Amino acid sequence: MSRIVYVNGEYLPEEDAKISVFDRGFIFADGIYEVSAVLGGKLVDCEAHLARLERSCGEINLPLPWSRAELVAIHEEMIKRNALDEGGVYLQVTRGAADRDFPFPKDAKPTLVLFTQARNYVNAPTVKTGIKVVTFPDLRWERRDIKSVGLLGQVLAKQYAAEQGANDAWLVEDGVVTEGASATAWIVKGKTLISRPLSNKVLPGITRKAVLAFLAETDFTFEERTFTLEEALDAEEAFITSATAFVMPVTTLDGHTIHNGAPGPTTLRLREIYVDFARKGGVLG
């Protein structure tokens, strides 16, 4: 049986799902997206993702005519119809279809699309080995805090990583690590976690927010600042966080081994806490 996808109020087999060739998401990347993880058939921290969706849409003056409760209900129906136990639900909203012209159209209705992807998050093989990361110049626009569907910079970075035999890329600008191509970048020194401050330079990660909320359960501290590539190479541990990676150790960076080349205890402890959080439904108090 094919996947069921959601398109503008209809649940359809994926082969029957269609949008207009004039959709501004297709023509201009004029849209916003979110991905919510699913574990044990339950959404993980979906409310936080929808809050970020609302913020991103507000930043580009994109109307969002669905309430948060309505969007949660659509997510849950998608999980049910696709019998999804572990994976993710992708949501994309665009400004809608109109004849090609740069200014916002006056009468277009937003397009809403959702689909599911089955993925192995908890027992991913890379948890035991850590991932290989390479660096790539940050070619993106200046509003990286908006979760835009315009992802060409990230596509080029991840393609470069794949060609190098790596799992992912860290983006670098002026000698400083910005973030992962689709994740927040972290390093560890002693008991201190280091990641850069939120700004228009980075996406405000939902998993980042959850990890920081867990620090009270540990003896770790957090230092919010930028870090250089050289500092990352000299770190005791490195990891990424995202809705689909959870907390994932980085053990190789640009061909250099991080510390002893094995996932570190800080990273693994944070991942353990996050997975437990996700299994319980993933809602921060």
140-150 confidence digits (pLDDT tens): 999 999 999 99
Whose tokens are 């993710």? That residue is: 88
Confidence at 285, pLDDT banded by 50, 70, 90:
very low
Nearest 5 degrees, angle CA 182-CA 158-CA 39? 45
Confidence of residue 284 (pLDDT cuts 50, 70, 90): low
Which residue bears the tokens 């228009």? 200
Q: What is the mean pLDDT of the chain?
A: 96
pLDDT tens digits for 4-61? 999 999 999 999 999 999 999 999 999 999 999 999 999 999 999 999 999 999 999 9
Q: What is the pTM of this model?
A: 0.96
Q: pLDDT value at position 281?
A: 73
Q: Which two tokens stand for residue 84?
A: 């999804």
Catalytic residue among 132, 147, 158, 201: 147
User: 171 forms bridges with which residues in the sheet?
Assistant: 136, 179
Q: Where are the alpha helices (DSSP H) in the chain?
A: 24-28, 46-59, 68-81, 126-129, 152-163, 206-214, 229-233, 265-279
The answer to whether 147 is a known catalytic residue is yes
CB-based contact 150:66 (threshold 8 Å) = no
